[in-house]
Structure formats: structure tokens, C-alpha cells
Amino acid sequence: MCNNYEQLSNYIREKGVKIIDFKEIDLAGRWHHLSIPVERFTEELLTKGIGFDGSSYGFLTVEKSDMVFIPDIKSAFLDPVPEIPTISMIGDIFKIEKDSYERFEDDPRYVADKAEQYLKESGISDMCLFGPEFEFYILDNMEFRVEVNNIEVHLDSAQAEWNSLDSAYDDYRKNKAYKVQAHKGYHTDLPYDINFDLRNKIVRLLEDNGAPVKYHHPENGGPGQVEIELEFASLREMGDRTQKLKYIVKNTAIKHGKTVTFMPKPFYSEAGSGMHVHLQMFKDSKPIFFDKNGYSCLSQNALYAIGGLLRHAAALMVFTNPSTNSYKRLVPGYEAPVTICFATANRSAVVRIPGYTINPEDKRFEYRPPDATANPYLCYAAILMAAIDGIVNKIDPSAEGFGPYDKNMYNLTEEEKKQVKALPASLGEAVEAIEKDNKFLQAGGVFTQSIIHSQCTRLKRDIEEVNRIPHPVEFKKYFDL
């Protein structure tokens, strides 16, 4: 929107902006923010920055936690959420070294920068584009409680089939009957698609604020699952757009009396929510993933990139699927991948090559395991690093036994299952995998050992906390023994 202080100042005056809001990301992927009156916004602030406590973001220890964020003026947008006219912009994180500032090597946004630079230095490509699909549930009510004597969760959606006899959500206490059956939500039309107007409002806000949308639609899950797919963008830019999408989606839903969850598996018997990531590479503006004579019209470099992703699939999950809930989605039968393989148009494979991409400039593949509990900068950077490793080391996915498998991988015989590898079945298994396999991430200094260690430490704490809390199903199974 703006490239310098003068341009932004003119825009601020034009729009009557009263507040400047700065957003910084933590290790888990949540935005934090700090705001100032517009009168305090100066050109000096863009170089001097604002100090904050890095330990509260999961980056530094308490005894040495002072950090500085410096706003990226190119990320500024007119924030559609606050009532008072507000400009929001993303901050880059710096550490303090003696009398100067240095980019903090574990700032997720800087990791994204380093990954893009490493790709260019490799000579493989000068541009990698990412196209994520965001699945999530729009709900009417969400309640949870974790107490010593009470563990419960209650989710509700007006369109869910369990409300077919309930009139609480309808005018004049009369049920209109149009409820979406379990697993029957995919592309369902009005009047079933009760969230259509809300999604349209969200999409228009995304378009107006630098996050172009490819399309949106109802997804498979009956209790309000939807999908928004963004247009392709570079790694760091897509990280920014991902954060902006989640921010706008959640806040717009709340303004309209709804709530949203990007949790991978909020309903145990319904479709989970993933964040499938499409990948393209170009060099000198020419696509390098296309070869009309290759498998599914993929070039050898594209196949090598797939080989890298599949070889490192287990380790990647620490950054692409970093929640205990992630692994409740990755089970057979819900269009979520469980088998480490690749194929064309096969949604049971970890890597799917869309069958409808027949033009060279459209040729791509889709990495299906990720979900939106991931920090997007780290997720996309890790995916890119695995792909680069595959190309640099010429990892042939077929030679490694990864396929192609043009069959339903959920219906393998016991003998066939022995011949293929499966994704980790738990977050603990993923942590074990990355502790053995992380050199590909550290190439070029992109991921440091410290950020890998910090991520694993954080996830181990989550695992320990979740594991020690009794589950309601355990009472069902064991209370009377």
C-alpha cells in the first residue's frame, strides 16, 4: 500500500486514521499487538522501533528478554476490525547487541526471508509461490471447561443435523428444516449454506486488505465447515496474508454473532480442517515444475522436490502440524493423508498432483498434511527447505518407495501397508522425528538449532499437559472396571 513514511502519512490524513497498531507474531503463530495514537507516529519510530518483552513471545529467557520490533511500512493496511480508524502493520523483530540492533534469527518472519534467499542462492529458482487452502468451522456457540471435577466441551452450529428438531435458532421458534447432514456439506447451496453472506463479507475484506481470494465455498463438514483459498504469493508474503486471513475471519465472525475455529479436529466424527499447501517454482519467470513427458507432466526437479518433502515428512510435522489435535485429523476415512506417498488427483496421498493443471505456468503439486495451528512463516519455510533438499540431493520419490500410488491408500491390505510409510500418529512421534532429522532445515542458516529446540520444548509441554488430563471417553470405558 505504502513504500515510505511520506506516502503513509498522506494516507493516514486522507483516511482520518487515529490509531497506529503494530502486530508481532509469537513462536506458536499468534499475533500480539501494541498501539499508539497517530500523533506519536514519527519517521524516527520506523528506524528506532519499540521495545518489548521477548520472553512473553516464547523467544528468550526472562533474564535476557528485551527485544525491539521495527514496523514494516509495506505491510500497513487500514484495519477493518477496530471502530476507530486504525492502520495496522507487522513488526520485524530485532535483538539488542551492545549498542546496535540485529535481526533476531528466530523471528518467524525472518526465517521466511532467509528461506527465500537460500532458494535464490541455490540457483534452483528465483521465486517459489505458495497457495494454501484454509478449512475452518463457523459455529454459533463454543463452550469448554477444564476443572478438577468438570471436563466438557460443547460445540453448536445452527445448520447441523442435530438441530433438526430444535427451533432455538429460527425466527418465531419455527424450524425451517434445512439442516446439513454429517459429511454432506461440500458445495451445498442456499438455503443450506447459511454462512454465505458472512463469507462474502470476509472475502471482500480480504480483497480490500491485500489478501486476494481464489474462491470460497462450504466444505464437507456438516456443522458449518467452509474453505477459503488464497491466490498464490511468495513465502513471506503468504505468511503475512495467512495471519491477516485468520485475523479478519475470526473478528468478522464475532461481529456477526458467530465464532470460528481452525482446530484440525473439533468434531470427532466429522471432517477435519486442513491447510493444504500448493507449491510452484519459477526461474526467470518460467515455470520449472512442468515437463510434458514427465509423470503427470512434472519435471524431474518437481519430482525431486516431492522426494524431499516425502523423505522429511515426519520431521516437517513439528512445524506443519504442531498441535496434539492435529493427529486426530490425520486418520483414515476423512480425506486426510496418512500414507507417505504421491499420486495424481489422489486425496489419500501426502502429495497430490492436481489433474486439472495442464498448462506449464499452472503446474504444481499440493502438500496435504498441514493445518492452520501452524505458524505460517515456519510452516511454509520448512516445506520449502524440504523441497530444496530434495532437488539439491536428487531425491527420487519412486526410488525411495513413495509411489506413485494411484489407488485409495485407506484401503490397503495388511501386506501393502508393510511396504509404505505412514505419517506420525502423534505429536510426540513428530518431535522424535525432527530430533533425528533436522539438518535440511538448518541449511544456509535458515532454521537455527535454537528455534528447533524452542519449538520442540514448547510442544513437549503441550503433550505432557494434554496427556495428564483424563478424557471423557476414558470414563465411558473404564469407570466401572
Q: Which residues are catalytic?
A: 53, 133, 135, 219, 227, 276, 347, 366, 368
Asked if residue 433 lies in contact with residue 424, where contact means CB atoms within 8 angstroms, the answer is yes
Asked if residue 191 lies in contact with residue 170, where contact means CB atoms within 8 angstroms, the answer is no
Longest CA–CA separation in the chain, Å? 73
Asked if residue 307 lies in contact with residue 341, where contact means CB atoms within 8 angstroms, the answer is no
Element of type H or E holding 97: strand 86-97
Residue with cell 489433474: 355
**Beta carbons within 8 Å of 423's beta carbon, 6+ residues apart:** 313, 314, 317, 330, 337, 338, 339, 340, 350, 369
Residue with cell 526465517: 111
Asked if residue 259 lies in contact with residue 144, where contact means CB atoms within 8 angstroms, the answer is no
CA–centroid distance for 438 within its chain: 20
Distance CA 139, CA 143 (A): 11
Classify residue 286 by burial, with Cβ atoms within 10 Å: 0-12, 13-18, 19+: exposed
**CA-wise closest residue to 394 among 306, 314, 313:** 306
